[in-house]
């Protein structure tokens, strides 16, 4: 997914689904590399709906030395995180029924979003979405993938317990 995102130093990135915090930390090492001066650093905001995992991710990110470049927020990521919007890049690490409208809104013109779209329990399609400078949306099919379902307001309507 990191290749598909076309990440560059300085990018502000939103990740929906922090999980362990690993993916967010690899992104941080690309948009805010340890060998580049801090004033050029970008930042990763990563959202996690499951409180225990948000805590797990936060601890991992800190132990790996990325807490200055990765912020873990416990919230319904299907709604994005308007407080820090707009973002240069958005990635969703869970499969959505459709591309959530708030995420499209929170993407910068010229920005790229990578998101798996499809049914629960089947393979999904990885979509790369570009928002043009004049705010048009262009979608591209990157092939089949298998992810856990996105839950929350714009996620799949499945029975779900956070804890």
Partner 1 sequence: MGVVSFLSEGDWERLIRSLIGQGILKSPRVIRAMRLVPRSLFLPDDQRPYAAIDMPLPIGEGQTVSAPQG
Q: Which residues bind partner 1 (CB under 8 A)?
A: 1-3, 7, 9, 19-23, 25-27, 29-30, 33-34, 50, 52-53, 56-57, 60, 63-64, 66, 93, 145, 148, 162-163
Which C-beta is closer to partner 1: that of 34 or that of 135?
34
Query: Residue 3: which residues within 8 A CB-CB, separation 6 or more?
Result: none
Rounded to 5 degrees, what are φ and ψ at 43?
-150, 150
Smallest gap from Cβ 123 to partner 1, in A, equals 13
* DSSP structure string for 28-90: HHHHS-TTS-GGG--EEEEEESSHHHHHHHHHHHHHTT-TTTEEEEES-GGG--GGG--EEEE
Closest Cα partner for 12 from 80, 134, 111?
111
71 vs 93, which CB is nearer to partner 1?
93
CB of 148 to partner 1, least distance (A): 6
By beta-carbon proximity to partner 1, the closer residue of 122 and 163 is 163
Distance CA 43, CA 155 (A): 25
Minimum distance, C-beta of residue 29 to partner 1, in the bound complex (Å)? 4
Identity of the residue, 63 or 132, whose beta carbon is nearer to partner 1 in the bound complex: 63
Task: Supply the minimum distance, in Å, between the C-beta of residue 64 and partner 1.
Answer: 5
């Amino acid at each position: 997914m990191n290749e598909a995102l076309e990440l560059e130093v300085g990018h502000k990135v939103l990740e929906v689904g922090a999980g362990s915090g690993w993916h967010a930390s690899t992104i941080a090492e690309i948009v805010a590399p340890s060998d580049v001066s801090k004033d050029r650093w970008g930042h990763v905001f990563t959202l996690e709906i499951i409180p225990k995992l948000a805590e797990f991710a936060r601890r991992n990110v800190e132990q790996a030395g990325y807490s200055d470049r990765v912020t873990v927020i416990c919230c319904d990521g299907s709604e994005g995180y308007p407080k820090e919007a707009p973002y240069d890049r958005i990635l969703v690490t869970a499969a959505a029924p459709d591309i959530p409208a708030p995420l499209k809104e929170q993407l910068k013109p010229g920005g790229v979003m990578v998101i798996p779209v499809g049914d629960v329990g089947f393979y999904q399609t990885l979509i790369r979405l570009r928002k043009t400078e004049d705010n048009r949306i262009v979608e591209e099919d990157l092939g089949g993938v298998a992810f856990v379902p996105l839950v929350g307001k714009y996620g799949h309507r499945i029975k779900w317990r956070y804890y």
